[in-house]
């Protein structure tokens, strides 16, 4: 039996929309001290017994806890201005099932089960007098299974960060 394949145009559209939505929400949240309180919501949540855990590296410092990342921004970064200059994205897996409940394991044709690599570049300035520095951020977005439930609360992010490698560049 042939496996159902996701239409390439759907794949491109869904990956592009996921990447755009992430970029449009994440970096403005980092720029706004009040919004930084929601940074952990952009990442998958650690669940005991689940193989899916966040893999976050910020300038060489690893973490698996999104709350730790949020605390870094709350305590160490009083003011920041991130400006995204560009991003690119690519589907990694069109049938990503890790962490999904058994009712969601069948292939889908709408792209809701993809994992997406997003490569972002831009500049950041920390503080009022800080130098403007370049940055690159490599993200893997995965489905937020909770948001795909028929009884999901409104406003949940459809995609969450499973992996992040952020680097300041010279």
Asked whether residue 42 is assigned to any structural domain, the reply reads: yes
- Report phi then psi at 143, rounded to 5: -60, 140
In this prediction, the residues of the chain whose per-residue pLDDT falls under 50 are 1-2
Angle 71-77-78 from CA coordinates, rounded to 5°? 115
Look at the chain and report how many structural domains it folds into. Answer: 1
Q: Which CATH number is 14's domain given?
A: 3.10.450.50
Q: What pLDDT shows up at residue 148?
A: 77
Q: What pLDDT shows up at residue 44?
A: 94
Asked whether residue 3 is assigned to any structural domain, the reply reads: no
Angle 95-118-167 from CA coordinates, rounded to 5°? 135
Q: How far apart are CA 78 and CA 50, in angstroms?
A: 34
Q: What pLDDT shows up at residue 2?
A: 44
Q: What pLDDT shows up at residue 7?
A: 81
Each as own residue / partner, the long-range contacts of residues 43-49 (CB below 8 Å, 24 or more positions apart, any chain) are 43/69, 43/160, 43/161, 43/162, 43/164, 44/99, 44/142, 44/144, 44/160, 44/161, 44/162, 47/99
Asked whether residue 57 is assigned to any structural domain, the reply reads: yes
Asked whether residue 12 is assigned to any structural domain, the reply reads: yes
> What is the span of the domain harbouring residue 50?
8-169
Listing DSSP states for 129-145 in one string gives: SPPEEEEEEEEEEEE-G
Beta bridge partners of 112: none
pTM assigned to the model:
0.90
3-class DSSP assignment, residue 5: coil
Asked whether residue 2 is assigned to any structural domain, the reply reads: no
Asked whether residue 140 is assigned to any structural domain, the reply reads: yes
Asked whether residue 106 is assigned to any structural domain, the reply reads: yes
Q: pLDDT of 30-64, one tens digit each?
A: 999 888 889 999 999 877 667 788 999 999 999 98
49 Cβ neighbours under 8 A, 6+ residues apart: none
Q: Is the dihedral of CA 111, 66, 36, 80 positive or negative?
A: negative
């Amino acid at each position: 039996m042939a496996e159902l394949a996701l239409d390439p145009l759907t794949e491109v559209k869904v990956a592009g929309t996921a990447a755009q939505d992430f970029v449009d929400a994440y970096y403005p949240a980092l720029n706004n001290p009040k919004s930084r309180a929601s940074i952990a919501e952009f990442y998958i949540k650690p669940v005991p017994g689940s193989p899916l855990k966040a893999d976050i590296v910020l300038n060489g410092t690893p973490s698996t806890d999104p709350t730790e990342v949020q605390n870094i921004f709350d305590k160490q970064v009083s003011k920041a201005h991130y400006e995204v200059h560009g991003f690119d994205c690519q589907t990694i897996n069109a049938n990503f099932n890790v962490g999904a409940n058994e009712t969601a394991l069948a292939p889908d044709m709408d792209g809701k089960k993809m994992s997406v690599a997003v490569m972002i570049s831009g500049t950041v300035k920390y503080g009022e007098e800080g130098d403007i520095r370049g940055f690159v951020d490599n993200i893997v977005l995965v489905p937020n299974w909770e948001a795909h439930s028929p009884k999901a609360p409104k406003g949940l992010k459809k995609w969450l960060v499973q992996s992040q490698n952020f680097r300041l560049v010279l």
